Amino acid sequence: MSHIIDRRLNGKNKSAVNRERFLRRFKAQIKEAVSRAVKGRSITDIESGEKVSIPVKDISEPVFHHGQGGVREQVHPGNEEFIRGDRIARPQGGGGGGGGGKASQDGEGEDDFVFELSREEFLNVFFDDLALPNLIKTQLMGVEELKQVRAGYTNDGTPANISIVRSLRGALARRVAMAAPTLARLGEAEEDLDALLESDDESTQEVREQRKRIHLLREKLGSIPFIDPFDLRYNNRIQQPKPTSQAVMFCIMDVSGSMDEQKKDMAKRFFILLYLFLQRNYDKIEVVFIRHHTSAVEVNEEDFFHSRESGGTVVSSALNLMADIVKKRYSSSEWNIYAAQASDGDNWDSDSANCGRIMEEQLLPYCQYFAYIEITEGEPQNLWYEYLKVKERQRHFAMQKIRSASDIYPVFRELFKRQPATRA
């Protein structure tokens, strides 16, 4: 009789390990493919997975096989017109039908091996090796960051936490300790009794009394409890605060008139990347979105990425707003403060010097890292030169230029490359 088994509820991811091994082995190629792929993507589909292709020759598993040449005979079905002795020209191109070549096995088909990465895997590769620079684990935070740790044993607690081994060990010790004197006396009494019996005296009275004493001692021994509430020990767990980092990221974007749709799009893509990266790698990070033209406003995520608004440009407005917010909400002893600013570098002329000053005096002293990206195809504008001066003096200020969409990813990587030397 056949045995029928429903296996559908068994795990279906038996191949997960093999898949992961595969990704691991071709990490380099996949990384390359991902950075190639990301150039062509719009903002929205960074959220989804990605098709990745690697050259077939990289992943082939070689085996010995015959090459072209020599004599080979092959039998085929479906003869229509041939008779014995017919001579046919060789089919071109590696020999398809009649020639019986095995083009696919010869490894000459240089097609790419294409497969799909899940979103998770994609982002893993995407943000591999990136980290916020200079992150310092400064503050001990509130309740969520407590973790339970074992801390020995206590004398009281809930029954669920009774430590059986500890309790019984204690009970055993207590029994031994309490029984010891009685046992000693019992031993003595028994010896005495033996002596009396051996001496063969007619002192039955004494013998009887001795027996009585022994009996009493035995009773005393028997009344020592096996376990006593006094013996109970409970596992103790205490809440220990976990050192964590508290960080805030300021995203500052220029939405002035000189930022055309294309530039705005690039800026948004940069921030989307940044935002995904933060969300993914840091559980607790606050993000502050600031948008500015002539005046700056703090907006929510939705507005930051989607609303349209424009006007002239006063960059310092945004920096001032950020400085305000920092003062009000993120006093720097508790917070790691990061900022990224995107602009086309176009600014009210007299304002640029202003920006440099605010940056150096009010922002950089509190910031762990400030990244400036300028999105422009032409010559750098006055803001760039102003910031260059800042950069010379401040180590944790970085600036990069983005010319086209394809620069976004490399620039992003450049800015947030993991820096082993400076890690806190």
Q: Which stretches of the chain bind another protein, using CB under 8 A?
A: 1-8, 10, 12-15, 17-26, 59, 61-80, 82-90, 95, 97-100, 106-107, 113-116
Name every residue whose Cβ is closer than 8 Å to that of residue 366 and which is 6 or more positions away in sequence: 326, 330, 332, 337
SS3 118: coil
Q: How many residues does the chain have?
A: 424
Of the two residues 82 and 226, which places its CB atom closer to another protein in the complex? 82
- 214/186 Cα distance (integer angstroms): 6
Of the two residues 12 and 308, which places its CB atom closer to another protein in the complex? 12
Of the two residues 13 and 333, which places its CB atom closer to another protein in the complex? 13
Shortest CB 333 distance to another protein, Å: 44
Name every residue whose Cβ is closer than 8 Å to that of residue 350 and which is 6 or more positions away in sequence: none
Shortest CB 17 distance to another protein, Å: 5
SS3 7: coil
Shortest CB 3 distance to another protein, Å: 5
Of the two residues 66 and 212, which places its CB atom closer to another protein in the complex? 66
- 290/305 Cα distance (integer angstroms): 11
Shortest CB 26 distance to another protein, Å: 8
Shortest CB 75 distance to another protein, Å: 4
Of the two residues 115 and 153, which places its CB atom closer to another protein in the complex? 115
Of the two residues 14 and 308, which places its CB atom closer to another protein in the complex? 14
Q: How many CB atoms lie within 10 A of CB 258?
A: 17
- 34/117 Cα distance (integer angstroms): 10
- 125/32 Cα distance (integer angstroms): 10
Shortest CB 119 distance to another protein, Å: 15
| Phi and psi at residue 229, to the nearest 5° | -55, -30
Of the two residues 24 and 306, which places its CB atom closer to another protein in the complex? 24
- 95/334 Cα distance (integer angstroms): 72
- 68/62 Cα distance (integer angstroms): 17
Structure tokens at 306: 């989607």
Shortest CB 280 distance to another protein, Å: 23
